[in-house]
Structure 1
Amino acid sequence: MDWYSTVFEIIDMRSFSNLWYWIALAVAWSTVSHWVVGVPFDLIQKATRLEGEAQQDLEDLVRINCNRVLYVAGVSGLWILGFAAALFTSMAILGFWYKVEFAQAVFLLLFPIALAGLMSLNTAAVIRERALEGEDLRKRLNRHRVQTQFLGMGAIFVTSLWGMYQNLSLGVLR
């Protein structure tokens, strides 16, 4: 038996029946919902409880991250958008037209996370435009987190349905 056969026998290359894919999906959405515009959620909670210095730390970190995100979007946003559009179009065509399961899995993992990134860009722009601070800033960050969690639940639900469909329909054939 050659090395490649052994590896592919041990590691199931079908994405939706692979436990590691589902672990990666859960970890990805957990991470995305924990970091709100680059700020850890526990810092938002701490600022809500203690205010004072914790609130100042939150405002400083939000200002730094909003400026960073908006700068990158302003300088190279069109290039990033173009490459992302090419990547997602390629993944969608490979996955759903040519039925490459790995491409389907990558698309269903990364596309909703890219949407969450656009939501973060929008939140950063709103925070800077309105010069939010204090209670208003915390409310906006909490709202963004809840929206991200709803997006994540929807993405996990759709991915689960598609994965079950793939496993049931292709499981009979393999």
Structure 2
Amino acid sequence: MPPFDSLIGLLDSRSFSTVWFWILQIGAWSVTGRTVLGVPVEIVARARAAHSAGQADTPEALTLLDWLSLTLPRWRLGPREGAIFLGVTSFLLSSGFVLGFNFGLELAQAAFLLALPFWLLFWMRVRLARKLAPMLVAAQEGRAGLADTVGQVARSMAHHRIGVIALSLVSLLVTMVWGMLWIALHPMGF
């Protein structure tokens, strides 16, 4: 291991060749995959198993709906907030893309390749929350049956989780391939 003369030497801006970037990348995706809209995946799996066994009014099903009633309000995004968030994040992502891929800054490339999939994941979650909110309201008001609601909610959340896993695999693969290419083309780091 090379000696570090300062904090700047420790926090080297070469991203693809440092272990810290890969720990961050893999750690972020492993933490993200443990929940769906803040609901642990174990609760979703238990509710789905209870629904498929024909037991809709089990504690597992009610626990899923309780978790959703607590976590869904965090994902409400009004038109104004959505437009502001979309504008700011699109500006930041496009700036990172231009700095990284047009000007050849490795740190900007790494930040872009890390941020873009999480930006897509955020919008996937907002979309899922907008889909689940009416179902939960209908179940709370008694307009929909508990069995149907639990089945639809658990199915939607399971499909979302599959999408998150696919997004994480594609993200890691693209970042890994681009990082290997960058290191091969820039062996000295610049």
Work out whether the TM-score is over 0.5.
Answer: yes
Call closer, same or farther: CA 1:14–1:117 in 2, change over 3 Å.
Answer: same
Alpha-carbon displacement from aligned partner over 1:60-117 (angstroms, at most 9, x marks no partner): 22233223212x3445111111110111011111111111111111110011011011
Separation (CA, whole Å) in 1 of partners of 2:172 and 2:8: 26
Tell me, in whole angstroms, the C-alpha distance in 2 between the residues paired with 1:104 and 1:12. Answer: 15
Correspondence for 2:170 among 142, 149, 154: 154
Cα 1:173–1:110 shift into 2, 3 Å: closer
Partner residue of 1:21? 21
Distance 1:10 1:147 in 2: 36
Q: Which residue of 2 aligns with 1:128?
A: 133
User: Whole-Å Cα distance in 2 between the matches of residues 9 and 37 of structure 1?
Assistant: 38
1:26, distance to aligned residue in structure 2 (A)? 0.5
Query: Contact between 1:33 and 1:148, CA under 8 Å: does it hold in 2?
Result: yes
What's the TM-score, normalizing by structure 1?
0.87
Deviations 1:146-173 (A, max 9, x none): 0110011001100001100111111157
C-alpha distance in structure 2 between counterparts of 1:92 and 1:73, whole Å: 28
Name the CA shift for 1:73/1:39 in 2 (closer, same or farther; >3 Å).
Answer: farther
| Contact 2:135–2:153 (8 Å) recurs in 1 | no
Letter in structure 2 aligned against 1:6:
S
The C-alpha deviation readout for 1:20-74, integer Å capped at 9, x for no partner, is 100110111112222211211122123345662222121122233223212x344
Q: Does 1:39 align with 2:26?
A: no
- Which structure: greater helix fraction? 1
Number of residue pairs the alignment of both structures matches: 170
Q: Based on CA coordinates, which of the two structures has the bigger radius of gyration?
A: 2
Separation in 2, partners of 1:83, 1:38: 24
RMSD (Å) for aligned C-alpha atoms: 2.1
Q: Report sequence identity in percent.
A: 27
Maintained 8 Å contact 2:29/2:168: yes
Name the SS for the 2:182 alignment partner.
Answer: helix
SS in 2 for 1:125: helix
The answer (yes or no) to whether the contact 2:97–2:108 under 8 Å persists in 1 is yes
- For the residue of structure 1 that corresponds to 2:104, the secondary structure is coil
CA distance in 2, matches of 1:125, 1:98: 39
2:85 is equivalent to residue 80 of structure 1 = yes
User: Aligned partners of 1:164 and 1:173: how far apart in 2?
Assistant: 12
Q: Which residue number in structure 2 is paired with residue 68 of structure 1?
A: 74
TM-score normalised over the length of structure 2: 0.80
1:92 to 85, 88, 97: 97
Gap runs ≥5 in structure 1 = none
SS at match of 2:13: coil
